[in-house]
Amino acid sequence: MPGKKLNEERCRDLLISIRKIIQAVDIHSRKLNKHFGLTGPQLIVLQEISISGQISITPLSKATSLSQATVTDITKRLEAKGYISRKRREDDRRAVSLFLTVKGKEIIENLPPLLQETFTEGFSKIEDWEQLMIMSAFGRVVNLMEAEKIEASPILLTGPIQTAG
């Protein structure tokens, strides 16, 4: 068992690493907002609409791991900026589908890769055993921080925290 001082240093170093990760996500989100006028969640919603062609709020909420209220608010903002449009579905006149406008398609084509895309590319290049060690260590950190009930998607962005249940 390591000495108390060594244990405190390791905890300090780990917390510094966690803060650096949080700051990297925040810096990336601020750059997106500064250069493109989009927040991380807005970009995620735009990308999901782009992938699906057209989609309604409920499946969009599930696909992005954001609440329906958050997705509704984001889509109103994106529509006001001219990036998306709504139209009634032919098969169910009560339902509304969201789709990208020409302006929305243009912004999607000109965006830099998301932080998670950069991460995924780097992570996929390391050996399987190292990937498993990292995953195990992060799982343990989540447990130590009692963060198991925090809902999260594999999308790196800052914003409100949602807890399950």
Element (H, E) at 44: helix 40-52
What pLDDT is recorded for position 82?
95
Strands 96-100 and 150-151: unpaired
What pLDDT is recorded for position 161?
43
What pLDDT is recorded for position 156?
58
Tell me the domain boundaries of the chain: 4-163
Element (H, E) at 135: helix 128-144
Q: For residue 154, what are its two tokens?
A: 């594999």
What pLDDT is recorded for position 9?
92
4-163, what's its fold?
A: Arc Repressor Mutant, subunit A (1.10.10)
Cβ-proximal residues to 149 (8 Å cutoff; 6+ apart), any chain: 163, 164, 165
pTM, 2 dp: 0.66
Full pLDDT tens readout for the chain, 165 residues: 568 888 899 999 999 998 998 888 888 888 888 888 888 788 889 989 999 998 999 999 988 888 889 999 999 999 999 999 998 777 776 778 999 999 999 998 887 777 777 888 899 999 999 999 999 998 899 898 887 777 665 555 555 444 444
Strands 54-55 and 162-163: unpaired
What pLDDT is recorded for position 162?
44
Q: For residue 53, what are its two tokens?
A: 């062609």
Phi, then psi, of 72 in degrees rounded to 5: -60, -45
